Structure 1
Amino acid sequence: MTPERQEANRIATGPHFRPRIALIALGLLAGLGGVVAVGSLALAATTERVVTNRFSGLAIEGFDPLAYFVDGRPEMGLPDFEAAEGGVVWRFRNEGNRASFVAHPEVYGPQFGGYDPVDLARGVTVAGNPLFWLVAGNRLYLFGYEDSRDAFAANPAPYLKEAKSRWPVLEEQLAQ
């Protein structure tokens, strides 16, 4: 091998080349994440029984689950008002919301652990996005996509029937 080729080979496989490979790989992964993700909310885990941000440990991205009922819109919870329930941390806007949730998490928490009921009806678990939501039958549902929410809102009965029948098996398959 000529000295020029040896030098080129050293540069291509040497210590300066590995960071370039890592940067390229990260760039590709970030690009794929943008395709799969819906904004920054894609950090939610889809292997937990309750949809949880894998980095912060917060359920439903830190949104106050009672705000959907009380305020009629998603509102971020505050670190001063937290409660641990179902193995995750929930945040609330005030002490009253926190107390109501702790007394009745099955009522105020998102149904199916925050997974999209339309996708559950198809037999798959897709993390719901707290910005795509609906309160129906005095229960909170989160959806992975706006189209799923709209389809559910138009006729929730068949989706709920199928999601409820599939949820026990799908929930069991999720990590504990």
Structure 2
Amino acid sequence: MTAQRQQRIQQRYRPLFRRRIAFLALLAVLVAQGFTAHAAITERIVTDRFSGLAIGGFDPVAYFVDSQPVQGLEDFEAWQDGVVWRFHNDGNRASFLAHPEIYGPQFGGYDPTDVARGVAVAGNPGLWFISDQRLFLFSREASRDAFVANPGRYVQRANARWQVLKQGLSR
């Protein structure tokens, strides 16, 4: 094959190759987003759309008792506010049922920095912070860091917008 012919072939197929690479990159991004965003953002409480569990099946009381997220167990479930919650043990379940307003994540588990902006973005159970004896979940580390720097500011703004925002979410 002559050098000129090789050059013509490369010129003909190079744009096609670049388009395929761009398409595969776009496809990879879309697939990654689909796998990371599996919380429903139409519910009043962040619910895993695959399992139907509130806050991804994590025990909300464990954040207070164990100071870390702990996956709840199927043996310790409770139905509260229209969703199934899981707990690590029976004591945590009893505490939650007695005081869901304390142990449940604020703003239904939505990121309070986004709620303060008037947007419902599901919080990640692995990104959390307890402020004023209340649990807050965040969608990204930057949101958590901003909140930690001035929780009162975000809570005040989020409280002002939550009632209206919550009306747009289904039961």
Determine which of 45, 48, 57 is the counterpart of 2:43. 48
| Partner of residue 86, structure 1 | 81
| Partner of residue 144, structure 1 | 139
Determine which of 23, 30, 33 is the counterpart of 1:32. 30
Deviations 1:12-36 (A, max 9, x none): xxxxxxxxxxxx9xx93x63142x4
- Give the TM-score, by structure 1 length: 0.80
Determine which of 108, 114, 117 is the counterpart of 2:112. 117
Following TM superposition, by how much is the alpha carbon of 1:153 offset from its aligned partner in structure 2, in angstroms?
Answer: 0.4
Deviations 1:119-163 (A, max 9, x none): 011110000000000010000000000110011001111111110
| Partner of residue 156, structure 1 | 151
Query: Is 1:103 equivalent to 2:98 in the alignment?
Result: yes
RMSD between aligned residues: 1.8
Following TM superposition, by how much is the alpha carbon of 1:55 offset from its aligned partner in structure 2, in angstroms?
Answer: 1.1
User: Unmatched 5+ residue regions in structure 2?
Assistant: 1-22
- What SS does the aligned partner of 1:161 have? helix
Determine which of 161, 165, 168 is the counterpart of 1:170. 165
Task: Give me the whole-angstrom Cα distance separating, in 1, the residues matched to 2:86 and 2:63.
Answer: 13
Determine which of 40, 52, 68 is the counterpart of 1:73. 68
Determine which of 54, 59, 65 is the counterpart of 1:59. 54
Following TM superposition, by how much is the alpha carbon of 1:83 offset from its aligned partner in structure 2, in angstroms?
Answer: 0.2
- What SS does the aligned partner of 2:78 have? strand
- What SS does the aligned partner of 1:168 have? helix
Cα contact 1:77–1:93 (8 A) shared by 2: yes
Q: How many residues align?
A: 148
Deviations 1:22-77 (A, max 9, x none): xx9xx93x63142x46xx55211000000000110000000000110000000000
